[in-house]
Structure 1
Amino acid sequence: MTTTTTTTAETVLDASGVTMRFGGLTAVRSVDLTVNSGEIVGLIGPNGAGKTTFFNCLTGLYVPTEGRVSYKGTVLPPKPHLVTQAGVARTFQNIRLFSNMTVLENVLVGRHTRTKEGLWSALLRGPGFKRAEAESRERAMELLEFTGLAAKADHLARNLPYGEQRKLEIARALASDPGLLLLDEPTAGMNPQETRAAEDLIFAIRDQGIAVLVIEHDMRFIFNLCDRVACLVQGEKLVEGSPEVVQGDDRVVAAYLGTPFEGAPGAEEVAEVEAAEAEAAASTPADAVSEGRESTTRTTGPEKETP
């Protein structure tokens, strides 16, 4: 008699009823989404659909107006650095690197949340600090080897080709040892060869036991990559399912072609929400921006400097 053992996938991310309003405009409305261990989930939708706003709600950059975001059963605090400490890392649509630091130093920044040494230990540079520093350096080099950047560890980040800068962002996010990695348009601006390399890298990340949630506009890439795909239209989840189900849904096709369907928002409503999001980002208090940048550098770093 043969006994079959079934393994139930753990729910890594559970977003329930997430809503984000800017004044009287709603950018994300009652979105439910789960990501399980060993799974790659895609989030698609036309421009202005609320995908990045939803990501910001998941990672503490925005505090949702309504709803709850949990990681492995624990509600995430609305602070980016605490979300990172909990085990959730992300990259951004626009590359944010320390451009005047080396490739290795950028990854070491991402290691910050996993080191236990405090201020006095760093100032005194005792045995404990030196040991932690050596361990961080070893882990950073492992990640550079994993992403194919080890040979350029001493290069300045700004001197890397575009595709390798994307890889470096991912390596830095991985330095925090996340259980869930959120990727915001990881292949934006890449050529077909770089896109294929990014796909292989994401599969390799998944094979290490890290769940992945990815936003992407390249439909061929997303449908080849993901186990499940959810489509947002004007902040609402239109459909969710296997790549075959989603790409065969007439409403998804209509949304991308700009063809109206029942309940679809008008162009004016789309423009209003996009303007509200931009205004919210521009009017963020200086201290909040500073706090956000300081905390997110543990996985992402500041926006790329202009040489």
Structure 2
Amino acid sequence: MTTQTITRGETVLDARGVTMRFGGLTAVRNVDLTVGSGEIVGLIGPNGAGKTTFFNCLTGLYVPTEGEVRFKDQVLPPKSFKVTAAGIARTFQNIRLFANMSVLENVLVGRHTRTKEGFWSAILRGPGFHRAEKASRERAMELLEFVGLAPKAEHLARNLPYGEQRKLEIARALASEPGLLLLDEPTAGMNPQETRATEELVLAIREKGVAVLVIEHDMRFIFNLCDRVAVLVQGEKLIEGDSATVQSDERVIAAYLGEPFEDAPGAEEVAEVEAAEAQAEAQAEAVEAQAEAAEGEGEGEGEEDQVEATEAEAEAAEVRATEAQAEAAEAQAESTTDAAPGKESDR
């Protein structure tokens, strides 16, 4: 598996003072976090702790209200597709595959940030175009072999079992050749066998020199897997350390048992934050899709696979925006009925 050349131990991700506010509501407050090359770091916390919002700040979907995010000592651009091109890839809490595309085509979508062939190459279909197309397919098949999906390359993504859809999302993320992979609840909904297979896959990814930052609610998975674990509670980092240190901290235990902290927000305030986040994510994804499509047109990128990938991503972003807007409306309704404690979504 080919990855970017990174010296082991180098700081890959450096997030400093990251704060994210939605109007007068603060979802993430002054969070610092670093990840070194070849390291697996876990991010845990109760529902509504701000974990996914923090991920969105790291990947350019949100622009932090305060603070900065650096990748390999470079401040990241505030656009998610440019963050991907810089070397950070992610998966999502809710699976976001192109259901009507084949398994192979889904991975080829992830390759488009590394495709260099331009407009005239695609029009003329010269030797360079065919070499690039062949190389992309070969690389995609290597990744499918790596995650165990090569025999199903021509299957539609929607026909894969749930656990294999999660693997496909990881393969697509790896197709962009990241130096850092962000996994948002990769074992959600999995049985113990699937969870163990995911753990082995993440360890194999680390062995290839890719740093990993993972959000997860399965504590056994996190503590078995991670070199370090950071805990978010009410948008703030409560503690960071090795598994033994975090597991024995009384504040962490209290947070997971639901014991209130001093000045802890009420259920209505939590629901308001979740509603604001859902609406902001919907708007950000719609803007991102438009920006990426416009940038592709401006650069004259005409390779067929690349154009199809951009169009597919734009279409998917529109769908996600609609879903997120519906989620925002639902969250807002729940805030008025004090139903926030029962919500399963974690922003």
Same fold (TM over 0.5): yes
1:61 aligns with 2:61: yes
Residue type at the aligned position of 1:239: I
Shift of 1:118: 1.2
1:132 aligns with 2:140: no
Cross-structure match for 1:290: 289
Cross-structure match for 2:46: 46
Cross-structure match for 1:177: 177
| C-alpha distance in structure 2 between counterparts of 1:275 and 1:287, whole Å | 17
- Report SS of the residue matched to 2:99: coil
Deviations 1:197-224 (A, max 9, x none): 0000000000000000000011111111
Residue type at the aligned position of 2:290: E
Shift of 1:268: 3.4
- Report SS of the residue matched to 2:89: strand
Q: How many residues align?
A: 296
Q: How does 1:259-270 map to 2 (within 5 A)?
A: 259-270=259-270
Supply the RMSD in Å over aligned alpha carbons: 2.1
On the 8 A contact 1:80/1:292 being kept in 2, the answer is no
Cross-structure match for 1:99: 99
Q: How does 1:158-237 map to 2 (within 5 A)?
A: 158-237=158-237
| C-alpha distance in structure 1 between counterparts of 2:160 and 2:248, whole Å | 39
Identity of aligned residues (%): 78
- Report SS of the residue matched to 1:31: strand
- Report SS of the residue matched to 1:255: helix
Cross-structure match for 2:9: 9
Deviations 1:3-42 (A, max 9, x none): xxxx971000000000110001010100000000110000
Cross-structure match for 1:3: none
Shift of 1:124: 1.9
On the 8 A contact 2:93/2:184 being kept in 1, the answer is yes
Cross-structure match for 2:240: 240
On the 8 A contact 2:80/2:288 being kept in 1, the answer is no
On the 8 A contact 1:110/1:175 being kept in 2, the answer is yes
TM-score, length-normalised on structure 2?
A: 0.81
| C-alpha distance in structure 2 between counterparts of 1:196 and 1:293, whole Å | 36
- Report SS of the residue matched to 1:123: helix
Shift of 1:263: 4.8
| C-alpha distance in structure 1 between counterparts of 2:114 and 2:125, whole Å | 18
- Report SS of the residue matched to 1:32: strand
| C-alpha distance in structure 2 between counterparts of 1:139 and 1:279, whole Å | 37
| Structure with the larger helix share | 2
On the 8 A contact 1:84/1:176 being kept in 2, the answer is yes
Decide whether aligned partners of structure 1 residues 290 and 141 sit closer, same or farther in structure 2, where only a CA change above 3 A counts.
same
- Report SS of the residue matched to 2:214: strand
Cross-structure match for 1:4: none
Deviations 1:205-259 (A, max 9, x none): 0000000000001111111110000010111001110011111111111111101
Residue type at the aligned position of 1:208: K
| C-alpha distance in structure 2 between counterparts of 1:239 and 1:263, whole Å | 18
Decide whether aligned partners of structure 1 residues 286 and 135 sit closer, same or farther in structure 2, where only a CA change above 3 A counts.
closer
On the 8 A contact 1:13/1:72 being kept in 2, the answer is yes
| C-alpha distance in structure 1 between counterparts of 2:209 and 2:112, whole Å | 21
Residue type at the aligned position of 1:89: A
Decide whether aligned partners of structure 1 residues 261 and 17 sit closer, same or farther in structure 2, where only a CA change above 3 A counts.
same
